[in-house]
Structures are given as C-alpha cells and as structure tokens.
Amino acid sequence: MPEKLFPNITSPEINDYCKALSSMPSPILQELDMMSQTTDKPQMISGAYLGSLLSMLSKMLRPLTILELGTFTGYGTLCLAEGLQDNGLIYTIEKNSELEGYANEVFGKAGIDDQIVQHIGDAAEIIPTIEETFDLVFIDAAKRQYIKYFDLVLPKMKSGGIIIADNVLWKGKVASDDNDKLGQGLDAFNRYVNAHAEVENVLLPIDDGLHLIRKI
Ligand SMILES: C[S@@+](CC[C@H](N)C(=O)[O-])C[C@H]1O[C@@H](n2cnc3c(N)ncnc32)[C@H](O)[C@@H]1O
C-alpha cells in the first residue's frame, strides 16, 4: 500500500508500530487507495491509518447523518459510511468537479450510493443550503476556511454531535517557529475551538493532526 507523505509527528518507530498493529482496511478501500495514487494529488487521501480511525469513530457513534467537507476520491466517505445507520445519509461536498465521476463509481461499487448525497461546489456556499442536522462532521476541505466551516456547521449539529477536523497540526508546524500561512490559519482554528463556549475538544497527534470537537 502506498505510504503517505506526512512526516511522523510522534516518531517514525511509534508511527510504524501503530500502523502495523491496526486493522487493515477492506479490500474495496485498498483498491480505492491504489486508484487514488493515479490522481494529481494522491497525498490528499486519508489513507489506511486515518481511514481506520474514521471508520472506528463512526462505528462507535452510529450516526444517522454525516457531513464530509472535501470528498476527493471518496475514501473518507466510505470509511465514515461503515458506521452509518442503515437508514442514514452522508452528505459530502467537493469543489473539484473532475472528481465527481470517480467518487460516483466508488460509491456504486461499494453498494452505498443510495446513502450518499454528493454536492459539487464550494463547501462554504453549499453548507447553508443543506437542510439537515448532523451527528458527525468531517472537516477536510480548504485549510484556510476551517473557522468558517466550524461556524457554519455548529448550528447544524445535534447536541453531543462530533466534528473531526483533519490536518490541524500541519506537519507539526503549528507548534514550531517556522509555521507558514496555512499553519497559522490552522493554529488560529485550534485556538478558536478551544476557547469556544459551545464545545469541548481534544487535539490528537495522529497522522497530520486531528481535532475532535463535541458540541455540548
Ligand atoms: C484532503 S482532500 C479530502 C480527502 C478525503 N476527505 C479523504 O478522506 O480521502 C481535500 C479535498 O477538498 C477539496 N476542496 C478544497 N477546497 C474546497 C472547497 N472550498 N470546497 C469543497 N471542497 C474543497 C479538494 O479539491 C480536495 O479534493
């Protein structure tokens, strides 16, 4: 399976150990991972390790409604779908229309296309048009927009609902002196969430950094 390009925020040994002793993704996810390597930006995919965590969290929460920002090839969507209730729905938003056919094919192959509502366009514009309340939200689209996404989705979350935001440690840069513009935005997001009165949160040094946020 292809290796992801993120550096090891913890240590290479711990990273390898955790990955080696975590459950393998399903054959269809493995196939999708290989297929995604032929896209322009294969590093965009969540991949086996983060995907297994998304799947595990979704299975623990058993959500009825999920929102994903940033579909890419549908890997995260399929992982999140593993915990979805039988009558549940996943809304997923992707701005790059070239990826639509890709994800459609994958969702059909997995036999869950009737549980997925795909939107093509800018997430910040589409979120307000979706009339739904969410149990689980995965924020994984434009890194500069995370505070905006958070403010847009929070009123649509049920009490006890969970937001998972990816890449929030930005290759470890958020905690270093050579942080870049995107990292500064993610640092601002992490601080914003931590100070927000309507949520409780925990930051995890997993993969490129995950922010787990629970609406009180
Ligand atoms: C990291 S990838 C998503 C990976 C996917 N969630 C997964 O688990 O494999 C980020 C995706 O967000 C999309 N994106 C970037 N800006 C966006 C925006 N403003 N609105 C919607 N999608 C956006 C990109 O085109 C890209 O496909």
Using the atom order of ligand 1, give the atom closest to the CA of residue 51: 8
179: left (phi over 0), alpha (psi -120 to 50) or beta: beta
- How far away, in angstroms, is 69 Cα from ligand 1 center? 6
Sign of CA dihedral 166, 59, 99, 50: positive
Provide the pLDDT for residue 9.
Answer: 74
What percentage of the chain carries pLDDT values higher than 70?
96
Q: CA-CA distances (angstroms) from residue 20 to 14, 16, 63?
A: 10, 6, 28
- The rounded Å distance from CA 33 to ligand 1 centre is 16
Angle at 200 between CA 74 and CA 8, to 5 degrees: 55
Q: Which mutation among 44, 90, 102, 171 tests ligand 1's pocket best, with the greatest number of atoms within 8 A of CB?
A: 44
Residue nearest to atom 8 of ligand 1 (CA): 76
Q: Is the dihedral of CA 74, 79, 85, 86 positive or negative?
A: positive
Pairwise CA distance, residues 79 & 99, whole Å: 18
Q: Helices (H) and strands (E) in the chain — how many of each?
A: 8, 7
- What confidence tens digit (pLDDT) does each residue in 92-118 have? 999 999 999 888 899 999 999 999 999
Tell me the DSSP string of 89-115: EEEEEES-GGGHHHHHHHHHHTT-GGG
For residue 27, the CA-to-ligand 1 centroid distance in Å is 23
The Cα–Cα gap between 182 and 198 comes to: 25
Protein residues whose CB sits closer than 6 Å to any atom of ligand 1: 44-46, 68, 70, 72, 75-76, 93-96, 99, 122-123, 140-142
**Dmax (CA) of the chain:** 48
Does residue 8 carry a pLDDT above 70?
no
Condensed to tens digits (0 to 9), the pLDDT of residues 182-203 reads: 999 999 999 999 999 999 999 9
Going by pLDDT thresholds of 50, 70 and 90, the confidence category of residue 12 is confident
Q: Does the pLDDT value for residue 158 go beyond 60? A: yes
Model confidence band, residue 7 (pLDDT cutoffs 50, 70, 90): low
pLDDT at 175 over 80: yes
Ligand 1 atom at minimum distance from 79 CA: 8
Secondary element (H or E) of residue 125: helix 123-126
What number is the average pLDDT over the span 157-177?
95
- This prediction has a pTM of 0.96
Distance 44 CA to ligand 1 centre (A): 8
CA of 68 to the centre of ligand 1 (A): 9
> Going from the N-terminus, what domains does the chain have, and what CATH number goes with each?
12-215 (3.40.50.150)
Q: What is the rounded CA–CA span in Å between residue 75 and residue 207?
A: 16
